Amino acid sequence: MFETSLASSTAMTRAQFLRTCAQLAVAGMLSNSGLAASRTATAMATRPIPSTGEPLPVVGCGTYRGFDYAPGSDEYARLGRVVYALLEAGGKVIDTAAIYGRAERSVGEVLQEGNLRRQIFLASKVWSTGREAGVQQMERSLKDLMTDKLDLMQVHNLIDVKTQLATLHDWKANGRTRYIGITHYDTSAHDEVEKVLRSVPVDFLQINYSAEEPDAAKRLLPLAADLGVAVIINRPFGGGGLMRRLRDKPIPVWAGEIGCGSWAQILIKFVLSQSAVNCVIPGTGKPEHMMDNAIAGQGPFPDPSFWTKRATIIA
């Protein structure tokens, strides 16, 4: 009933939707004890990681800014509900980094408190120069995340990428991480990203792609598909200005055709229209935002051509 009302309410703004989500959260949707029983009947879609075939849910959670809070704050107190909202929706990818302030420690504490580590696909990043410094940073990440093994470790923004990837290959061989990858968030770096993809084998590429920043669809997404590299998309809402422009506008009538009840869901579906994309990780520290984002992980996912006549509305 809830999902049906979202699809049919084309005049609902994001603010109205989030108020509804908050009311549901207060009513108990995010309780730990009811996690398995309360998952929605419509499961989040998954897409296989090319190098192994492992299914990966298509919507995850980024932790930049949203998880950079200390115990005792109101913001920290709601982080557990963010993770439960992700899990209840069928998601499991959490992406973080040592340079995100306190985010890694917050993630580690939440997962330990709820005994949730095995349910999470945990990704982090190394952002350092030199082998020794990189290893030290990654060891600190494992300590803060309270785990002895990561699902994915990535070289962040291609910093000292040759050195760090050599270390990551060693870590993968020794079972310290299951997958390795590279990341960037800036379109100006796409040429360099392409060079690395063509020269060094990796399992994952994390890159920016959105209605506001669509350049990755020209070369990087097709290249990743050709090379058998999984793709995680950061910045699905662009630099933030796009969401600010859209958030108080009624969503278009056609949003119901693709199962969207908010602008965030529309923008995420735009990204997931690219078949090369395995997962989208919009950052948030709010459970109502996580719930809203996760709904976009349910089908249908329109073909990229669907957006041809609609691009001017969302860009």
Residue 225 inside a domain? The answer is yes
Question: What pLDDT does residue 172 have?
Answer: 98
Residue 308 inside a domain? The answer is no
> What are the residues facing 150 on neighbouring strands?
177
- What's 246's domain CATH number? 3.20.20.100
Q: How confident is the model at residue 80 (pLDDT cuts 50, 70, 90)?
A: very high
Q: How confident is the model at residue 314 (pLDDT cuts 50, 70, 90)?
A: confident
Give the torsion sign (CA, 207, 209, 215, 218): positive
Question: What pLDDT does residue 42 have?
Answer: 67
Give the torsion sign (CA, 154, 133, 163, 99): positive
Total domains in the fold of the chain: 1
Residue 1 inside a domain? The answer is no
Question: What pLDDT does residue 315 have?
Answer: 65
Residue 38 inside a domain? The answer is no
Token pair in block for residue 231: 């793709």
| Mean pLDDT computed over 233-259 | 90
Residue 53 inside a domain? The answer is yes
3-state secondary structure of 66: coil
CA 76 to chain centre: 19
Q: Could you list the residue range(s) of the whole structural domain that residue 208 is in?
A: 18-27+45-297
Residue with tokens 């949730």: 116
Q: How confident is the model at residue 276 (pLDDT cuts 50, 70, 90)?
A: very high
Per residue in 113-171, pLDDT tens?
A: 999 999 999 999 999 999 999 999 999 999 999 999 999 999 999 999 999 999 999 99
**pTM exceeding 0.85:** yes
What does the DSSP assignment read for 179-216? EEEEE---GGGHHHHHHHHHHS--SEEEEE--SSS-GG
Mean per-residue pLDDT over the chain, rounded: 89
Question: What pLDDT does residue 26 have?
Answer: 36
Question: What pLDDT does residue 126 have?
Answer: 98
Residue 306 inside a domain? The answer is no
| Mean pLDDT computed over 8-18 | 41
Mean pLDDT lowest for which of 57-71, 196-210, 249-263?
249-263
CA atoms within 13 A on the CB side of 79: 31
Per residue in 30-65, pLDDT tens?
A: 444 344 333 444 689 999 999 999 999 999 999 999
Residue 217 inside a domain? The answer is yes
Residue 247 inside a domain? The answer is yes
